[in-house]
Copies of this chain bind each other. A is one copy, B any other.
């Protein structure tokens, strides 16, 4: 595949990833920025390059970048004698991908326990169902921690 073709494919991928991010609740512009920083060969973009490349206004870029930094998904560097910010995706400890999931499972687990506590009939359909779910989320969390531990041991 020649360079031109490859770059076209990269731009298509930005659209795909953008739409995917929207579906996961991210706002359109923020999704496009993430995608841009992830797929292109150049992995550092200045503010103006982002504005230009995605055809968005400076204000949208500014707010979206602020959000992405708050979410710890993007960061920037500056170079002495150069006022520009060089934005790039934030390289994180890879398990961060699952921490959201983990926390959501912990939340659900707690919630189901509170429901059970307040039920009149400790053998109701819902109670039995929630007990099942509690067992399974506990198992999941336990397994997850083991996996993590193992991973770091074998490093």
Interface, chain A (partner B; CB < 8 A): 3, 6, 9-10, 13, 16-17, 20, 24-25, 38-39, 41, 43, 88-89, 91, 94-95, 97-98, 101, 104-105, 107-108, 111, 114-115, 118-121, 124-126, 129-130, 132-133, 135-137, 139-140, 143-144, 147, 151
What is the copy number of this chain in the assembly?
A: 2
26 contacts between A and B (CB under 8 A): A3-B120, A13-B118, A16-B111, A17-B111, A20-B107, A20-B111, A24-B104, A25-B25, A38-B115, A38-B126, A38-B130, A39-B115, A39-B118, A41-B124, A43-B126, A89-B126, A89-B129, A94-B132, A94-B133, A94-B136, A97-B105, A97-B137, A101-B101, A136-B151, A139-B147, A140-B147
